[in-house]
Every structure is written in C-alpha cells, then in structure tokens.
C-alpha cells in the first residue's frame, strides 16, 4: 500500500512543481485577501460625513460640535443654515448624519432643563448608522458630564443618566476593542475553507474529466489509497495556508497569540480533514469542473456566512442555527479565536474539537463510499 501511495504523492508534487503558477495562485491571493480583510473588514466607523444645523449659535452649541469633531469619528462636511439644506445633504449622500441644535439649547442647559438635540441618521446602511449612534450616545454622555462638572470614562457604553448608577465596564481579552483582533483569526479559517474545498474538488474532478481517474481505477490501487494520495498534499497546503495567514496576523497586524501552538495545530488538522471531506464530497457530485464550480459556489458561501465569521450565530433564525451545526468553520472559528485571544486549552475547547472530528469522520466516510459509486 505504501508504495502505491508514495507514487501517487510523487505524481501530485511533480504536477504541482510543473505548474509554475501554482505557488503564485496558492499564495498571492491569500496574502492579498488577508491584507484586505485586515484593513477593510472592520465595524469601527471613522470619518462619518456629518452635516450640522446650528440654530442656537451659542457657546454651548459650538462646544458640543467640537466634542463631535474631536473624536475623529465625524467629519463636518456642511454647516447648513436651513432644514432644507440639511435634507438635501442626506438625500445626495453628502452626509450620513445630521445634527440639529435647536435655538434655546444654551439657555435650556444653563437653566438646568432637559435640552433636546435632534440627530438624523441615514438608515440605508443600518450597520454604520447603528454604530454612529452608539458614538453619539457616548459623546453626549461625555458632554453632559463635562457640563455638570463630572468626568466620565470615554468608553462608557450607552448614555447613562449623570446621576445614579455609575457604569464601570472592563473588556477582557481585547481591551482596545480592536475589530482586527476579532476578524483576523476568523480570516484564517475562512480563507482556508475557501481555498481547500475548491482545490480538492477541482483536482479530483479534473482527473475524472481527463480520464486519468478511470485509468487509475483499472490499476490495482484501491480507492482509499487514491483519495489519500490526492488529499495529503492539500492537507499540507491547508496547514501552510493557516501558518501563512497566522504569521501575517501576528507579525503584521500584531494580533496576540496567547494560546497553545499544539491546540491550534490540533484544531487546524481536524478542521482541514473536515474541509477536505467537503471537497471530496463535492467532487463525487460533479462530472465536470463546471459542475464543481457551481456546487462550490452554492455550498461555500453559506458555510462562510453561517459560521459566525461576521454575523453572530445566536442572532440567526433557529433553522439556520441548526444548519450551522454541520459547519466545520463554525467550530474552528471558536477554537482559533479562543487560542489566539483567550489562551484557553483543551479543557474548554474539547466540544468544538470533538464536533470537528465527528464532521471530518462523517464527511470523509460518506465521500469515500460515494466515490466508489461515482466511478460507474
């Protein structure tokens, strides 16, 4: 068995070596995507184009505006003089946010009355709107505190009445609440899923299309040996992917890696086995590379969206939550984030690791069984 497996492996690596663009195709898109994700995938909102209509023109109103500008989150793009001008700014996408300070703002504050402040948000991008509103709450809380002589911590959560409960929040594992710390570990799992599933599926379907698969199957090699020979290289490539993206995350984006290397390796290996199983399974349903492409598109995107990479699983409808149970990426993201940021070990992560092992076993078994049938 070892002889036939080693000749399969030798052939695979020879083909890979012969394909002079292979390394380029494998590595460059990966690096570019990590960098793009690292810089672009963030929920933090900076430089929100903001229009201001200051009908009070007082010390207090100017003070409030300067509070907004000082955070760097808001750029005043227009100081409007009429309500119509403000509406036009939002209609024409000049501004996403508009602040209206009514006449009498200063007076209300000085008299200790509640001073109303109108904020208009363009809800087209609900995410940005929601986050910007959060900042506004913080800024207003800070402003009210300043006005009443108290100092409140900047990152104080939503606006709190100045009197009564004083909120003391403390964030663990990511004290700066840096989105990158959340995203980059997720990117490692996601990119590996995208790359390894399609590589595996395409490589096998290509052998089917060219006719080499049938040729190999009339040799004494067993289907199991063929599948091993075909998947071991992709397992190694997958490990390489994970190492490369992790290195970029740690060295370039300074994501902390506080956990155990071995837990990471174990998680990565189980994840790769499950993902290879997925690729194999797709290949048994495809006669041509085009079919494999369509299937890959059909499956990989939902696995990506329903993984908890960006959208919390807990917020999904129940039937979608059930679907995530068979998604290996879901478990790997838990493991990888925990290993990177929390540093927890097997004692905590074993259920996720066990689920990945189970999925890997099921997918590989089903695909090996289906593989035999698909030869007819």
Q: Which spans of this chain sit near other proteins (rule: CB under 8 A)?
A: 3-4, 7, 10-11, 14-15, 18-19, 207, 210-222, 375-376
d(CA 336, CA 243): 12
Closer Cβ to other proteins, 148 or 212, answer by number = 212
CB of 347 to other proteins, least distance (A): 46
CB of 372 to other proteins, least distance (A): 10
Closer Cβ to other proteins, 100 or 368, answer by number = 368
Non-local (6+) Cβ contacts of 67 within 8 A are 139, 142, 143, 146
CB of 245 to other proteins, least distance (A): 28
d(CA 152, CA 144): 9
Nearest in space to 11 (alpha carbons), one of 224, 220, 225, 277? 225
Closer Cβ to other proteins, 221 or 228, answer by number = 221
CB of 10 to other proteins, least distance (A): 8
CB of 8 to other proteins, least distance (A): 8
CB 97 within 8 A of CB 89: no
Burial annotation 255-267 (CB, 10 A radius, 16+ → b, else e): bebebeeebbebb
Q: What is the DSSP string of 313-355?
A: GGGS-HHHHHHGGG-HHHHHHHHHHIIIII---HHHHHHHHHH
CB of 3 to other proteins, least distance (A): 6
Closer Cβ to other proteins, 19 or 110, answer by number = 19
CB of 224 to other proteins, least distance (A): 12
Residue 34 φ/ψ, nearest 5 degrees: -65, -45
CB 233 within 8 A of CB 16: yes
Q: How far is CA 188 from CA 44, 138, 248, 307, in A?
A: 20, 33, 10, 13
d(CA 229, CA 243): 22
Closer Cβ to other proteins, 1 or 177, answer by number = 1
Q: Which two tokens stand for residue 97?
A: 């946010």
Closer Cβ to other proteins, 254 or 372, answer by number = 372
Closer Cβ to other proteins, 218 or 315, answer by number = 218
Q: What is the CA radius of gyration of the chain?
A: 27
């Amino acid at each position: 068995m070892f002889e036939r497996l080693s000749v399969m492996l030798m052939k695979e690596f020879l083909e890979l070596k012969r394909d002079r663009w292979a390394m380029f195709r494998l590595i460059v898109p990966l690096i570019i995507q990590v960098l793009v994700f690292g810089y672009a995938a963030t929920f933090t909102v900076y430089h929100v184009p903001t229009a201001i209509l200051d009908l009070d023109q007082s010390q207090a109103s100017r003070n409030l505006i300067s509070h907004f500008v000082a955070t760097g989150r808001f750029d005043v793009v227009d100081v409007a003089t009429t309500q119509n001008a403000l509406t036009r700014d939002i209609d024409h996408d000049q501004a996403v946010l508009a602040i209206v300070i009514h006449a009498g703002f200063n007076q209300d504050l000085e008299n200790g009355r509640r001073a109303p402040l109108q904020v208009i948000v363009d809800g087209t991008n609900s995410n940005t709107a929601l986050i910007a509103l959060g900042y506004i709450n913080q800024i207003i809380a800070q402003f009210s505190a300043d006005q009443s002589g108290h100092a409140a911590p900047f990152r104080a959560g939503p606006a709190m009445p100045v009197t009564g409960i004083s909120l003391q929040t403390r964030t663990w594992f990511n004290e700066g609440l840096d989105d990158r710390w959340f995203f980059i570990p997720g990117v490692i799992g996601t990119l590996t899923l995208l790359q390894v599933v399609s590589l595996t599926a395409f490589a096998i379907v290509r052998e089917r299309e060219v006719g080499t698969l049938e040729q190999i199957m009339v040799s004494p090699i067993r289907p199991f040996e063929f599948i091993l020979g075909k998947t071991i290289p992709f397992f190694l490539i997958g490990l390489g992917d994970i190492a490369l993206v992790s290195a970029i995350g740690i060295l370039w984006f300074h994501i902390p890696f506080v956990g155990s290397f071995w837990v990471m390796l174990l998680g990565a290996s189980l994840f790769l086995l499950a993902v290879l199983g997925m690729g194999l399974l797709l290949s048994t349903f495809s006669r041509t590379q085009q079919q494999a492409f369509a299937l890959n598109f059909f499956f990989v995107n939902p696995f990506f969206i329903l993984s908890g990479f960006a959208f919390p699983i807990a917020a999904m409808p129940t039937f979608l939550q059930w679907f995530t149970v068979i998604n290996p990426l879901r478990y790997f993201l838990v493991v990888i984030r925990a290993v990177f940021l929390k540093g927890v070990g097997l004692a905590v992560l074993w259920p996720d690791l066990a689920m990945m092992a189970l999925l890997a076993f099921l997918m590989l078994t089903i695909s090996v069984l289906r593989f035999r049938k698909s030869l007819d």
